[in-house]
Amino acid sequence: MDPIWWWVIAAVVLVAVVLLLVPQMRRRQEESRRQKAAEVREEAQDHSQVVREREAHAAQAEAEARQARAEAEQKLAEAEKLETEGHRRGRTAAEAREEYDEKLQRADELDPDVDTDGDGRRDRDGLGDGDGRRDRDDLPGRDRDGDGLADRDRGGFGDGDGRLDRDDLPGRDRGDVQHNT
């Protein structure tokens, strides 16, 4: 046989081997890719659980935020309602106080035993500051002279509480009350 035939036979065998090995290599490669795809799917499945948990937490947080906002809006509406009611009641109380003061002033004007000033107001019990009302600064031991200090008890000493107690004795001043001498 000619050597050329040997070359032709070798080429045919080589082509046959290549034709047999290429599909087998492709199958191996495909199987390897299938395994890799299965691994990626498994990782994605694991990750999908994490994603669902995060989505559930986000949805829960959004629901809580909506509920908190609704509660806050409800409380704001309630506060506004109460504020309006407070203003209304304040006006009503002021009107009632004004009516009461007017009636007292009218009674004082009519009463011949009551000394009134030019505005028809009286100084009740000799304690008042002339504003026609008995309030805190009209009480004994309060600041009736408006100097910001408690007035003294009788006798020129004391803390202005209207009682004679240990801290009113000479030499026992607590030091918390300034005295005008």
Taking the C-alpha atoms of residue 156 and residue 169, their distance in angstroms, rounded to an integer, is: 11
Residues 46, 52, 53, CA angle at the centre, nearest 5°? 95
| pLDDT per position as a tens digit, 3-57 | 898 889 999 999 999 999 999 999 999 999 999 999 999 998 888 888 999 999 9
Read off the pLDDT of residues 102-127 as tens digits, 9 standing for 90 and up. Answer: 998 888 888 888 777 766 666 554 44
Q: What is the pLDDT of residue 146?
A: 59
All structural domains of the chain with their residue ranges: 68-111
Closest C-alpha to 132, from 159, 112, 109, 110 = 109
Residue 106's pLDDT is: 87
Residue 53's H or E segment, with its range, is helix 3-110
137-144 LR contacts (CB < 8 Å, sep 24+): none
The residue count of the chain comes to 181
Predicted local distance difference test score (pLDDT) of residue 108: 86
Q: Please give the structure tokens belonging to residue 161.
A: 């509480």
Residue 173: pLDDT above 80?
Answer: no
150 sits in the region (left: phi over 0; alpha: psi -120 to 50; else beta) called beta
Q: What is the pLDDT of residue 154?
A: 46
47-96 pLDDT, tens digit each: 888 899 999 999 999 999 999 999 999 999 999 999 999 999 999 999 99
